[in-house]
Chains A and B, each alone.
Chain A
Amino acid sequence: MGAFIKERVYIEGLMPERALLRLRRAGIPLFRVQKTNATTLLVSVRKRDLEKVFAIYPNVCYNDSRSSSFTAKLAPKKGATKWLYVLKNRVGLWLGALLFIGGTAFADGLVCGVDFVGTDVYARETYAALREANIRLFAPYRKGKEDLICAKLLSIDGVEFCSVKKRGMRLVVEIRTAPFGKESAKDGQLYADCDGVILSMTVLRGTALKKIGDRVNAGEPLVGDWFSTEDGGHVRVQAIARVCIACTYVEEIAAATEQEAFAIAYLAVGADSVVLRERRVTATERGFAVRLAYESVQTINF
């Protein structure tokens, strides 16, 4: 390495060109010889020849007994050589800097916490969704799972908006709920919407006006929206109740086919809100006679 690295040396003295004679005789190759002023030469020598140069022309001081017409001094380093020496003399600094940069780059890929924006009511559901997406705290962050997490959070009733972003080492989860929650409670009584027999009745608030097994007609009140007090008075409340009635639908429907007649009758009784128990469709002169036996559930604030 010493053969390739060159050091710059100032040789000072009267007629400094004469100093090169002894260096030449010592077999020291000289490179880029420049005369910087009348008494100074700037010479580049190989690093391994530097000791010889200073042995021939020592940089003498006042209490040194050696004498020389010329003196040699090391010139300040510049260019790549300078940085090579800085690197060599500051190994700890460079290693520390590299470790710091590497550590920062590595830590930037981790998730160290979750910040909630908007509302943190669904924090438990959020952490569960993150676990399902295999995102854990103090572990590398897996990209591409944001849509999956948001889909799970949006399926929660009341969540209108969701976004998941990574900022630095934190995961920012923004959840916005609907501006107006569920529908406000209804006032009034619960009425039957068909003729039939009460199969089951659940009254959490209010007064039951019928009992299981009673035959009711469409429009009859089933649950009242009041309580009776001991002194005979009534206190108004918002009723909460659920009543299941076994109803029968009988109708002659003008339709081209049996299926069409059934569909018309099914839609008439409420389709998805009823449980069909029995159906009978018979052809008549004017169409089809449809008889449906079904269970209808009526609720109020339930």
Chain B
Amino acid sequence: MRIYDELFKDPNDSACARCVIVPSGGGYFEGVRALGELSTEKIVVYFPRQAVEITGTDLAIKKYYEGDLQIGGKVSGVRVLSPETDGGKG
């Protein structure tokens, strides 16, 4: 939808990384540059400018292709890691 295209642009008018989470379900992430940690309780994904930590249970990567990442399992939390405090890869 056009409104999403408008919302998901940064001040420089370039597309932002985005994610869709299903409560107590999985999630879908776009613009993923790299994967960090990978376990059934925690997955760390790196976007161009920040890192995001996804926590939950029975987490698994269902599909990873051209920056699109689909996570299965029960996602209980999503936290953006700041580079200063968490040492995330930018």
In the complex, what residue of chain A is closest to B67 when comparing beta carbons?
A: A24
Contact pattern, A 19-39, Cβ under 8 Å of B = 1, otherwise 0:
011001001111111110000
CB–CB B60/A32 < 8 A: yes
CB distance from B68 to the nearest CB of A (A): 9
- Does A17 touch B at the CB level, under 8 Å? yes
In the complex, what residue of chain B is closest to A16 when comparing beta carbons?
A: B38
CB distance from B47 to the nearest CB of A (A): 13
In the complex, what residue of chain B is closest to A23 when comparing beta carbons?
A: B64
Q: Give the distance in Å from the alpha carbon of A20 to the alpha carbon of B60 in the complex.
A: 14
CB distance from A7 to the nearest CB of B (A): 16
- Does A18 touch B at the CB level, under 8 Å? yes
Q: Give the distance in Å from the alpha carbon of A29 to the alpha carbon of B66 in the complex.
A: 7
CB–CB A21/B61 < 8 A: no
Chain A residues, Cβ within 8 Å of B35 = 17-18, 20-21, 33
Partner among B37, B38, B62, B64 whose Cβ is within 8 Å of the Cβ of A24 = B64
- Does A41 touch B at the CB level, under 8 Å? yes
Contact size class for A? 10 to 19
Q: Give the distance in Å from the alpha carbon of A21 to the alpha carbon of B63 in the complex.
A: 14
CB–CB A32/B34 < 8 A: no
Classify the secondary structure of B's interface with A: strand
Number of interface residues of B (CB under 8 A): 15
CB–CB B60/A34 < 8 A: yes
Partner among A18, A27, A28, A32 whose Cβ is within 8 Å of the Cβ of B61 = A32
CB–CB B65/A35 < 8 A: no
Contact pattern, B 57-75, Cβ under 8 Å of A = 1, otherwise 0:
0001111111100000000
CB distance from A4 to the nearest CB of B (A): 15
CB–CB B39/A35 < 8 A: yes
- Does B36 touch A at the CB level, under 8 Å? yes
Partner among B33, B38, B66 whose Cβ is within 8 Å of the Cβ of A17 = B38
Contact pattern, A 100-121, Cβ under 8 Å of B = 1, otherwise 0:
0000000000000000000000
CB distance from A125 to the nearest CB of B (A): 78
Q: Give the distance in Å from the alpha carbon of A73 to the alpha carbon of B62 in the complex.
A: 20
CB distance from A195 to the nearest CB of B (A): 118
Chain A residues, Cβ within 8 Å of B38 = 17, 33, 35, 41
Chain B residues, Cβ within 8 Å of A27 = 65-66
Chain A residues, Cβ within 8 Å of B37 = 17
CB–CB A21/B60 < 8 A: no
In the complex, what residue of chain A is closest to B71 when comparing beta carbons?
A: A33
CB–CB B34/A18 < 8 A: yes
In the complex, what residue of chain B is closest to A20 when comparing beta carbons?
A: B35
Q: Give the distance in Å from the alpha carbon of A219 to the alpha carbon of B33 in the complex.
A: 132
CB–CB A31/B62 < 8 A: yes
Chain A residues, Cβ within 8 Å of B36 = 17
Chain B residues, Cβ within 8 Å of A24 = 34, 64-67
Contacts A24-B66, A24-B67, A27-B66 given; indicate if A33 touches B34 (C-beta within 8 A): no
Q: Give the distance in Å from the alpha carbon of A142 to the alpha carbon of B38 in the complex.
A: 70
Task: Give 29 pairs: A residue, B residue, CB < 8 Å, sorted on A.
Answer: A17-B36, A17-B37, A18-B34, A18-B35, A20-B35, A20-B64, A21-B34, A21-B35, A24-B34, A24-B64, A24-B67, A27-B65, A27-B66, A28-B65, A29-B64, A29-B65, A30-B61, A30-B63, A30-B64, A30-B65, A32-B60, A32-B61, A32-B62, A33-B38, A33-B60, A34-B60, A35-B38, A35-B39, A41-B38
- Going nearest first, the 7 A-B pairs with the smallest beta carbon separation are A33-B61, A29-B65, A30-B64, A17-B35, A35-B38, A21-B34, A17-B38
